Amino acid sequence: MQEDILGKLGPEFEEVWKDVNQRYVFFDEKDAELGKHIVQFMVGIMESLSSLGATAMPSHDVTMNAIGTTSIHGHSGHSTRDGFLAVQSPRKDLSILVIGKAGTGKSSLANAILRKPEFEVAVGMTIKTNTAVKGSVCLGDRNVKVVDTPDITNLSGEISKQDEIRKWIDLTSPSPDVIVLAIRCDSKYTPEDFAMYQELQRLGLKSVLEQKLLVVFTFGDQRQPDFEGDIRRAGSNLHAVMKDAGKRRLIYNDKWTSEKAAFVIELLHMVSSIQTQSRHL
């Protein structure tokens, strides 16, 4: 492999190759699993940086174009496995709790993190997710658990709200590393939406929401051109939620496959920042 690379790039590359010191990765845009490999690669870099005492990579260091190829500027990891960067020491598993009103795209978002269609996605007006379900995926050497949930104001059957929330906590055991609140960015944030958030606070999630909340604006393909202005003009209820989230927010767009890997990388970056903040509390 080494000879192949040097043969193709010529002797001028020899000096660079010495510095590369086995840290390399191949990106093949025809690779059916390219997105997954990019995420693993970036996770490896973030893990390497944090094991070196650096904070996670700022998001502007990652650029991704429409066909899904990625450029990474200025950072390197420190070990390889099967050609992809991996982490040397085992790291803590992650658990991600996805919550929100019915039809806000929770299951679609959860599937994007898992990179597989684990959870059923709603079609038409049907409410699909009726109770919490867990899926998991390996990213780098981390097992990432994702718990998809129903709209707590719309539970069907006998299950009480308290029991349902107990199930969320059990499935994310010992506790979620991040709570992703899905809010549609193509429609108004209504008093009913805010009432659901307040109900979750009352049902015992107040302090964990204040520490671990991340707002994800879903239906990003339908956002206003002036999205920042749209947020500024949104009412005080949405601003109160975003305050709890410490202004952590992302936009998700389920329609553009090429953006999903970049979204997962940003999400993991947010999780690292939440973890860093909770270490300083």
Ligand X SMILES: Nc1nc2c(ncn2[C@@H]2O[C@H](COP(=O)(O)OP(=O)(O)OP(=O)(O)O)[C@@H](O)[C@H]2O)c(=O)[nH]1
Site for ligand X in 204-243 (CB under 6 A): 218-222
List Cα–Cα distances, 103 to 56, 99, 100, in angstroms.
32, 11, 8
The two most distant CA atoms of the chain are separated, in Å, by 71
With CB under 5 A, what is the number of residues at the site for Mg ion? Answer: 4
Here's the x/- map for ligand X, 47-86, by CB under 6 A: it reads as ----------------------------------------
d(CA 196, CA 218) in angstroms, rounded, equals 17
Structure letter (DSSP) for residue 204: I
Q: Which stretch binds ligand X (CB under 6 A): 118-126, 227-235, 243-251, 259-267?
A: 118-126
Tokens 């599937």 locate to: 111
Q: Which stretch binds Mg ion (CB under 5 A): 15-23, 67-75, 128-136, 204-212?
A: 128-136
The answer to whether 242 touches 186, Cβ cutoff 8 Å, is no
The answer to whether 92 touches 128, Cβ cutoff 8 Å, is no
- Helix, strand, or coil (residue 182): strand
Q: Which stretch binds ligand X (CB under 6 A): 64-72, 102-110, 155-163, 230-238?
A: 102-110
Choosing from 253, 261, 263, 274, the residue that interacts with ligand X (CB under 6 A) is 253
Site for ligand X in 121-160 (CB under 6 A): 121-123, 127-129, 151
Residue with smaller CB distance to Mg ion, 106 or 248: 106
d(CA 71, CA 62) in angstroms, rounded, equals 6
Q: Please report, as ranges, the residues that interact with ligand X according to CB under 6 A.
A: 100, 102-108, 121-123, 127-129, 151, 218-222, 252-255
